[in-house]
Structures are given as C-alpha cells and as structure tokens.
Amino acid sequence: MAYSKALVERIRHLVSRRRGITEKKLFGCVCFLLNGNLLVGVWKDSLIARIGKDDYEAALLKAHVSEFDVTGKPMTGWVMVDPDGIDSDHQLNEWIDQAMVFVKSLPVK
C-alpha cells in the first residue's frame, strides 16, 4: 500500500530529538513507536494518532478528524487526521504531542 513519504519525513523531523522513538513498517504503513508502543503512523496521506479513549470523542469533533477504521471496525482511541488537518508542522506536532501524552502512560514494551 502506498503512503505519503513526505508526511513520513515530516514526522521523522519532528520526532528526531525525542528519546525512545523508533520507526517500523506495520500494516502497510509507516509507524512510529515510543518505548515499543505505537504512537503515530502514516496511512495513505493521513496521520493516524493514538490518543487514548479519554480524548477520543473530543478529537472526533475537530475538523479533518475521523475514526481510524480500515477493517470495518473502528479502533477506539485512534484517530485519522486528513492532510488538511496537518498542513502545518505546528498542527502535526500538536497531534504527536497529544499521542505522546497518552503513550507515555503505557508500560514500556
């Protein structure tokens, strides 16, 4: 499956100075992990972000955000942000930061 290499590069740049981040190809996309837990990824030309169940409903109310659903069963706690919602590095970094808050609360793998 094709994914946006430009978005992958933008994420790489934004997370390059953060500790514990690794990169892995999973499920036909590129994913970034924090301490072994999935953090964010690139699905086609959109960002997928793991924000947790507590922030899930509020995130879905934002523009350009939808459920992450590629199998017919939405993944609660994960959102997909369309390209218009991550136009700027500031917007992209806000999603990465939100995902980091949640993923830091998980046990290290």
What's the pTM value of the predicted model, to 2 decimals?
0.94
User: For residue 77, is it within any domain?
Assistant: yes
Please count the structural domains in the chain: 1
Q: Which CATH number does the domain housing residue 83 bear?
A: 3.90.1150.30
Residue 15 lies in a domain: yes
- pLDDT per residue, tens digit, the chain (109 aa), is 689 999 999 999 999 999 999 999 987 889 999 999 999 999 999 999 999 999 999 999 999 999 999 888 999 999 999 999 999 999 999 999 999 999 999 999 8
Instruction: Domain of residue 56: give its range.
Output: 5-104
Amino acid code (one letter) for 18:
R
The pLDDT of residue 109 is: 87
∠ CA 99-76-5, rounded to 5°: 50
Would you tell me the crossing angle of helices 53-60 and 89-104 to the nearest 10 degrees?
150
Identify whether 57 is part of a domain: yes
Residue 109 placed within a domain: no
